[in-house]
Structure 1
Amino acid sequence: MTTYDCAIVGGGMIGAATAVALADLGLKIALIERFQPAAFEVNGTEPFDLRISAISLNSQQLLETLGAWPYIDQSRICQYKRLGVWEDDFAYTEFNAQEIGRAHLGYMMENRQIQLALWQVIQQHASISLLAPEQVKQFTNKADQVTIELGEQNITAKLLIAADGANSQIRQLANIGVTGWDYAQSAMLINVATSIEQQDITWQKFYPTGPVAFLPMPGNNASLVWYHNKAEINRLAALSNEQLAVEIANSFPEKLGEVNVLGKGAFNLTRRHANHYVSGRVVLLGDAAHTINPLAGQGVNLGFKDVKALQMAMAKAIGEGKAFDDPATLASYERARRSDNLMMMSGMDAIYQTFTHQSPVVKFVRNLGLFAAQRAGKLKSKALAYACGV
């Protein structure tokens, strides 16, 4: 039976980043993943994936530190410098990278790009054993180690780290409860070809039925996000691409221009927050610990902050001659991340609730707030810097 320092379940963006971050501390890591990511076509003509993320400056820095950034295909990512938000035109608010002394605010990129880049680092790392395809059947959380039963073998580890997503199997097996709810709306992701040249801005407009958003991608391409009630999203999802393009023209701002729909997908909006991030020798990160309203695209960035916080907590313990798996070390990770995650989740919920409230008085107040935000000077810059992780 092979023994590891940490066994990580979930080889997506957060799990893969965790594997590299902890292996860089000199720990022996097992990364357990059910499915290997498919590589992109060599000729670069493959359509963009629907699942993309807005990677913040802080997340970019982490990917650079982990050695993954050079493996990301720069031709398939899009740098953006501005962020626009509005409901009524008079209250248009725009955040610009120049306000915080940066060249850009972040990148739009496919989740698979990030995962594949991290896997390339993993495959070159002598301290990481990639167990894929493989899955956990069950585990025993003991006082000094975790025994993990896999499909083809059993292993032991000092820690079992769950990075296996919002419906985390490990979280459920560890009997860690969650608090949360389902939102009344669903969201639709739509890949489009645009008539307008490449843009350096991502924007979001709020309607009574929910926001619509524009996420720029390389070339004359973009990803649209359309929030609406579940019945309407189901209706839109059933349309042909040509029919959906007509609906987009009728419902999105004129500044979008003409689009040709290339692909689409829909998902329900949920909020989940684990009651604990640590239970015995089980540790939760990313969506296994928290899922957030995707309104501001902060989900993966919060997950990368979890990775960095866990690495720093363990590095501090090792540097002080303490055990990396000491309960106090794990508790410091939870303290560092739980309050920050909760604040961001609550903030997104407050924005969501404010913009879905149809009282004329509330509408006036929120537009007044956006009008003031555009003119808030240093306060506006500080809010932008916090959102970017700098």
Structure 2
Amino acid sequence: MQETESMSSSIPDTTAPQDALFDLVVVGGGMVGAALARACSGKGLRIAVIETRAPRRDWPAGEIDLRVSALSRASQRILARLGAWERIAALGANPYRKMCVWDASGGGSIHFDAQSLGEPDLGHIVENRVIQLALWETLESSPDIRLVCPASIVEIERTETESRVVLGDGQVIAGRLLVAADGRDSLVRELSGIETEGRDYDQRAIVANVLPQEWHQETAWQRFLPTGPLALLPLADGRCSIVWSATEARADELLAMGDAAFSAALTDASEARLGPLVVEGPRAAFPLRLQHAKQYVLPGLALVGDAAHAVHPLAGQGVNLGFLDAAELAAAIDLALERGRDIAGLWALRRYERARRGDNTAMLAAMDLIKRTFSNDLPPLAAARSLGLTLTDRISPIKALFMERALGLGSDLPPLARPI
């Protein structure tokens, strides 16, 4: 098993060099960063992954993580090729086969069913900690990957030939290609001087786990409310994970409620589609933001995942976009190695940026438009959008295009995401 270093140990590692030199240094060992490192393993590269803390190894039976992801078919293929999907399935991946979306103000609705595409499901609901642990274990078994964890970054020094990452204990990790996979508030992006554009949504997403009176039918339910969308995501044990996006004022109200009052408000917001809902365990909330990096790459530097883009969670596309980023960057690195090019040069990195920036921009714009359209309860607009939902539901070719896009069944996917 690959050795994992503890940067906070009181006993210094006198055998380690002050400057450790790598071909690829990934800052952030979460889902996207770990996927990228694993995708680049076995290619003759020296790889380092810097992470603030290792994932949890276990948790009490019956406990469900507050953060879950709706993994697309493309993401499933990527994780399977990286050797992580079997472990994810064993730890818990619940398929959802249908989706029901309806508008609280106008009454329009649309329904999606995997069976209409000849697919077994529309995707899987998986706890984030499960995905990270499964990927982390693949990193530990990769002899060409060094895990530097726990570690904190205090400085980054970039030159034309390498980046030097200075850690809190004074150790320096140097690499030809530095990849920022350290999230929406990326320190690497900030220290590298890459600006972002976007805006705060003045909403928070409340997450919790609830027990419905009725079976969730392996269906993802989403109702658009004027204050923000509510999603009920089916879990394997019959519970649902909720993501309730609400204005700041409404979020304050909901978070201040006791469990009984919150459960009643949640049942009302879902129109009791699954009967009364009872919240189980804690609640948490996080602010929502539209954010896009003005550049994905610089010589010797690339941004992936939330470090490059932050999207509204209403369609659950955040981590799926990140996995596609990782797969495209890995493909660009593969091509550079094949043609004898520098993996840290702009020839390779701009191939990645061209492949992903357009698709990510389109997805961010689409989610932003949906958010703004459904957050307005003016009668004419409510009537128009509900009519649009209803018409789309009745036009099979348009519905099929939406479903294929969400599943990741397109022809322009990176190699890791293509059909196996």
Same-fold call, TM > 0.5?
yes
SS in 1 for 2:157: strand
User: How does 1:1-390 map onto structure 2 within 5 Å?
Assistant: 1-41=19-59, 45-74=61-90, 76-87=92-103, 91-152=108-169, 153-262=171-280, 263-390=282-409
Moved over 6 A (4+): none
Q: Which stretch shifts more, 206-215 or 2-11?
A: 206-215
Asked whether the equivalents of residues 75 and 218 of structure 1 are also in contact (C-alpha less than 8 Å), the reply is: no
- Counterpart of 1:164, as a letter, is D
2: CA distance, partners of 1:136 / 1:22: 23
Residue identity in the other structure for 1:298 = Q
Residue 311 of structure 1: how far off its partner (Å):
0.7
Residues 9-44 of structure 1, C-alpha deviations (whole Å, 9 max, x = no match): 111101111110111433211000011111223xx6
Contact 2:177 2:343 in 1 (8 A): no
Q: How far is the alpha carbon of 1:90 from its aligned partner? A: 5.9
Q: TM-score, normalised by structure 2?
A: 0.89
Q: Mean Cα displacement is larger for which, 316-325 or 330-339?
A: 316-325
Provide the rounded CA distance (Å) in 1 between the counterparts of 2:87 and 2:358. 33
Give the superposition deviation at 1:134: 1.0
Q: Which residue type is aligned with residue 194 of structure 2?
A: I
Question: How far apart are 1:235 and its partner, in Å?
Answer: 1.9
Q: Residue type of the partner of 1:179?
A: E
The one-letter code of the counterpart of 1:346 is A
Q: Give the C-alpha shift of residue 166 in structure 1.
A: 0.5
For residue 203 of structure 2, what is the amino acid of its counterpart? Q
Contact 1:73 1:113 in 2 (8 A): no
Deviation at 1:208, TM superposition (A): 2.3
Give the stretch that moved more between structures: 145-154 or 296-305.
145-154
Residues 197 and 219, structure 1, Cα contact 8 Å, conserved in 2: no
* Contact 1:144-1:158 at 8 Å conserved across structures: yes
The alpha-carbon deviation at position 346 of structure 1 amounts to 0.1
Q: What amino acid does structure 2 have at the position aligned with 1:87?
A: D
Give the Å deviation of 1:198: 4.8
How far apart, in 2, do the equivalents of 1:338 and 1:159 lie?
19
Cα distance change, pair 355–77 in 1 and its aligned pair in 2 (3 A): same
Q: Counterparts of 1:194 and 1:250 in 2: how far apart (Å)?
A: 13
For 2:373 and 2:121, locate their aligned partners in 1 and report how far apart those are by CA, in whole Å.
29
Tell me whether 328-337 or 358-367 shows the greater mean CA deviation.
Answer: 358-367
Contact persistence 1:214–1:224 (CA under 8 A) = yes
Change (3 A) 1:184 1:137: closer
Between the two proteins, the alignment pairs up a number of residues equal to 388
Question: Structure 2 unaligned runs (5+)?
Answer: 1-18, 410-420
Deviations 1:334-365, CA, capped at 9 Å, x for gaps? 11111110000000011111111222221121
Distance of 1:210 and 1:322 partners within structure 2: 47
Structure 1 unaligned residues grouped into runs of 5+ = none
Q: Secondary structure at the match of 2:245?
A: strand
User: Displacement of 1:46 after TM fit?
Assistant: 4.2
CA distance in 2, matches of 1:196, 1:253: 13
Deviation at 1:284, TM superposition (A): 0.5
Percent of aligned pairs sharing the same letter: 38
3-state SS of paired residue (2:138): helix
Q: Secondary structure at the match of 1:312?
A: helix
Taking the aligned partners of 1:209 and 1:253, their CA distance within structure 2 comes to 15
